[in-house]
Chains A and B, each alone.
Chain A
Amino acid sequence: MSAEVKEKDPLFSLKNRKLISAPLNKDNPITIQVLGICSALAVTAKLEPSVVMALSVVFVLGVGNVLISLLRKTIPPRIRIIVQLTVIATLVILVDQFLKAFAYDVSKQLSVFVGLIITNCIIMGRFEAFGMANKPWPSFLDGIGNALGYGWILIVVGFLRELLGSGTVWGYPVFEKFGLYSVGYENNGMMILPPMALIVVGVIIWVQRTKVRELIEEN
C-alpha cells in the first residue's frame, strides 16, 4: 500500500501539505465545518485540560483515520457506522486508560468528555469524508491536520478563559506577579462559566471572517 503512495506522490507534496494546512484556517473544523463543538467548549475553562483534550483528539483522529483507511475496502457500506464507532471507541478507551494511569487529576477534570470523543462529530466526519476514500498516508495527514485545527482553537479559548477568568496561565498566577490586583484589577469570574466559551468562540469566528472575507455566510 505504502509503495503505491510513494510512486504517485512524494511524501510531502503540495497536495499533502495542504491537507495539514487547510484545516488550520480556511477549513477549520470548529469555525467552518462546525464539527466537534460538543466536547470543545466544555473542557476549556482552564488551559491544561484543553491541551490534554487537544492531544487526545490528535491521537485518536490521526491513528483512527489510518486504520479506517486501511480497512476501507473490507468494510461493508451498510454497517460502516458501527465499524467506525468501534474503531473510535477502542482508541478512546486507550486514551482514557492512559490518562487515568498517568494524569489522574486531568482525567477527573475532563470527566465524561474523554468518553465523548467517541461521538465527537469531527472524528466521524473525517472518517466518512476522507478516511473511507483515501490512502493511509494522506488520511493520516488529514487526521492530524484537522485535529490540530481543532486543537489550536481549544488552546486559544482555554488560554483566554483561564487568563481572564482566574488570572493564571497553566496554574501560574500571571496577573498576581504583574501586581495587577494591587491596582484594583478583579478577575472576571464570568469567563469561567460555560456560556462564555461560546461567546469566545463566536469572537474567534468574527476575527477570522473579518480577515478572510470569502468565508462570510449569507445568514
Chain B
Amino acid sequence: MQELTSIFVQSIFIDNMVFAYFLGMCSYLAVSRTVKTSMGLGIAVIFVLGITVPVNYLINEYLLGPGSLAWLGPDFVDVNLNFLSFIVFIAVIASMVQLVEMFIEKFSPALYNSLGIFLPLIAVNCAILGGSLFMQEREYQSIAEATSFGLGSGVGWLIAIVGIAAIREKIRYSNVPAPLRGLGITFIITGLMGIAFMMFLGIKI
C-alpha cells in the first residue's frame, strides 16, 4: 500500500506529465483560457488515464512483452511482439475513449455535457499515450501500481492545467509586452511553473 501511495505522489509532483516531460502540451496550451473548461478537461484526462494505463498494462504483460505469450504454450516463450506496442496502445486508447464516451452519454448525461466535447480531443493527447509508454518503460510490477501511476499522472496534469488557467485569467489585467501576449507569455509562465515544480526533485517518499 505504501508503495502505491509513493508511486501516486511521485507521478503527481516529481514526474509531473506537463512540467517534467511536456506531455499533453497541445491541449494544455489550447484549452487553458478559463479555469472551468480546463477543470473539465483535467477530469477527463484523469478518467481516461486511469482506464487506459491498466488496460495497456494487461496487454503488455500478457500479449506484447518479451516472453509474455508463455501462457499459450512452451513454443511461444521466445516470441516478442514489442515492436507492435505503439499501434496496439494507440488503438486501445482510441477505442477506450470512444467506449467511455458512449458509456458516459448513456448513464450520466450531465457528466457527458460537461466532459463530452473534451473526450475526442483526448485520444490524441500525448499525455495519454505517454502514460502507457512510460508504464511500459518503467516496468511496474502489478496492475495496482500501473493504475496508481495512471491516476497520479492524471491528477498531476489536472493541477498543471488548472494552475495555468488561473494565472491566465488574471494576466489579462497585466501589461504584457505586445509581442509576448497570448502564447508567448503562456510558454514563459509554464517554464517558471516548471522550475517551481523542480523543487520536488530528489524527494524520497
| Partner-B contacts on A (CB < 8 A) | 31, 34-42, 81-82, 85-86, 89-90, 92-93, 96-97, 111-112, 115-116, 118-121, 124, 193-199, 201-203, 205-206, 208-210, 213, 215-219
Contact = CB atoms under 8 A, between A and B. Distances in A.
Interface stretch (B23-31, B41-49, B59-67): B23-31
10 contacts: A34-B183, A37-B26, A82-B94, A90-B87, A112-B133, A116-B133, A194-B19, A206-B180, A209-B184, A216-B181
A198 B184 CA distance: 9
A85 B94 contact: yes
Nearest to A209: B179
A116 B198 contact: no
Contacts of B83: 93, 96-97
Interface stretch (B99-107, B109-117, B122-130, B148-156): B122-130
B19 to A, nearest CB: 7
Contact of A201 (B84, B120, B182, B187): B187
Q: Chain B contact residues: over half helix, strand or loop, or mixed?
A: helix
Interface of B: 19-26, 29-30, 83-87, 90-91, 94-95, 120, 123-130, 133-134, 137, 171-172, 176-185, 187-188, 190-195, 198
B26 A35 contact: yes
Contact of A120 (B19, B29, B126, B194): B126
Contacts of A119: 90, 124-126, 128-130
Nearest to A31: B183
A38 B24 contact: yes
A203 B134 CA distance: 30
Contact of B181 (A39, A90, A96, A217): A217
